[in-house]
Structure 1
Amino acid sequence: MMAWALRKLEFDPRTVSFVEHDVARLRARLRQRRWARGTRSAPVPRGVHLGCGARRVPGWLNCDVSGSECDIDLAAGRLPFADGSVDAVVMQHVVEHLELKGQLIPLLRELYRVCSDDAVLWLSCPDLAKVCAAYTADRGRALKEDRCRRWPDYSLDGAPVQQFVNDLFQARGRHRNLFDLELLAWALEQAGFRSVERIAEADLLAAHPGFPPRHDDEQSLYVRVCKSR
């Protein structure tokens, strides 16, 4: 209803999208509160796919802020799972959407809590080092061409190629941070994780072949994180 009213008042589509997202976050938090109070049974997964979007993977608990098997507001920094109950987590292109200290590190601490001692986290995000190197090399032209190969409808609407770098940093207001390996490892270490290894997308797909490939190694940082090693 609120989003409909904003459209009638001729707010720009991005404002409407942000309001819709915040409403979805509120609904997810209310569900999580019911889990915390014991008025609704919390899921008991072994493998969790956080920030799944439309990429639902069979055999995993696919979670997102709305319309998923288990709606969770990841920015709230709380997960409805028992201590040590999760064996694997996949979180692709999620961490860049969270504020570093107020949202991401609390979420990583929750992941540390819910993960079993032998659990493995598989994370990916835009790679700050690759983006900066690409800008220095050719103003980001190669990265933009890589994006267009994967997303044929992608367009800069006539802007010079340098705008693609801005798009990676901002994502139309949806990104909060970009990470290189050192910064992401630091954030994970604040949560208690100690083993952070750079990998390729192929390593994730070899371990969990049910996940659809993104073919985004040229732009992305992939890491494997172990709780106990």
Structure 2
Amino acid sequence: MPGWLNCDVSGSEFDVDLAAGRLPFADRSAETVVMQHVVEHLELHGQLIPLLRELHRVCAPDAMLWLSCPDLAKVCAGYTADRGQALKEDRCSRYPDYSLGGAPVQQFVNDLFQARGRHRNLFDFELLTWALGRAGFDLVEQVKEAELLAAHPEFPPRHDDDQSLYVVARRSR
């Protein structure tokens, strides 16, 4: 993203291993952090909560931490409603080349949970709020993608509210 410090494990302008437990940034140095579809790739206790604690350390008071990830509640509701058909159709509308390789539609739910071995967790609002609270974030609000885009219009829209959980967390102290 132009105008942002873009971090990834490799190939970014600032390579950093988010699972390593330590971020190379000064205390209270960030006003805003945006992580879209990252937290689900980290193990809860050994990687994600330590990362969230580090983010709490580097966030200034009243800084905003925007997170999005697949929404466990929406995935379960989608499976119960129609075995995941609407979820799969939503994905196909955004990614026309997406395919289940001939598998029945229920496989889409597995794909959301596993992401071909890349996902470690799915979160609902309660679980993500708990993890953020363990890290010291005391103000957590569920939002829509539109709120992230209104605050930061430079981000490309994902149009994934039907499958994703969006939250904003604040460090108030």
Classify the TM-score, shorter chain.
over 0.9
Which structure has the larger Rg? 1
Residue among 79, 84, 104 paired with 1:160: 104
**Residue 84 in structure 1 maps to residue 28 in structure 2:** yes
| Larger proportion of helix | 1
3-state DSSP class of the match of 1:210?
A: coil
Could you tell me how far apart the structure 2 residues matched to 1:214 and 1:143 are? 14
Secondary structure of 1:189's aligned partner:
helix
Across the aligned residues of Structure 1 and Structure 2, the Cα RMSD in angstroms comes to: 0.7
Would you say 1:226 and 2:170 are equivalent positions?
yes
Deviations 1:156-178 (A, max 9, x none): 00000000000000001000000
4+ residue stretches of structure 1 with deviation over 2 A? Answer: none
Paired AA for residue 75 in structure 2: V
Task: Note the C-alpha offset of 1:118.
Answer: 1.8
Cα distance in 2 between the residues matched to 1:182 and 1:109: 18
Distance in 2 between the 1:134 and 1:98 partners?
A: 24
Aligned residue among 127, 142, 145 for 2:89: 145
- TM-score w.r.t. the length of structure 2 is 0.99
What one-letter code is carried by the residue in structure 1 that aligns with 2:9?
V
Out of 103, 111, 129, the position equivalent to 1:185 is 129
Residue 65 in structure 1 maps to residue 16 in structure 2: no
Q: Displacement of 1:87 after TM fit?
A: 0.5
Structure number with the bigger relative contact order (C-alpha 8 A, sep ≥ 6) is 2
**TM-superposed deviation, 1:78:** 1.1
Q: CA offsets, 1:103-133, max 9 Å, x none?
A: 0000000000000002000000000000000
Identity %: 81
Which residue matches 1:20?
Answer: none
Normalised TM-score (structure 1): 0.75
Secondary structure of 2:117's aligned partner? coil
1:189-204 matched pairs, under 5 angstroms: 189-204=133-148
Separation (CA, whole Å) in 2 of partners of 1:133 and 1:110: 33
Alpha-carbon displacement from aligned partner over 1:186-229 (angstroms, at most 9, x marks no partner): 00000000111000000000000000000000000000111107
- Tell me the number of residue pairs that the alignment of Structure 1 and Structure 2 aligns: 173
How far apart, CA to CA, are the structure 1 residues paired with 2:111 and 2:78? 14
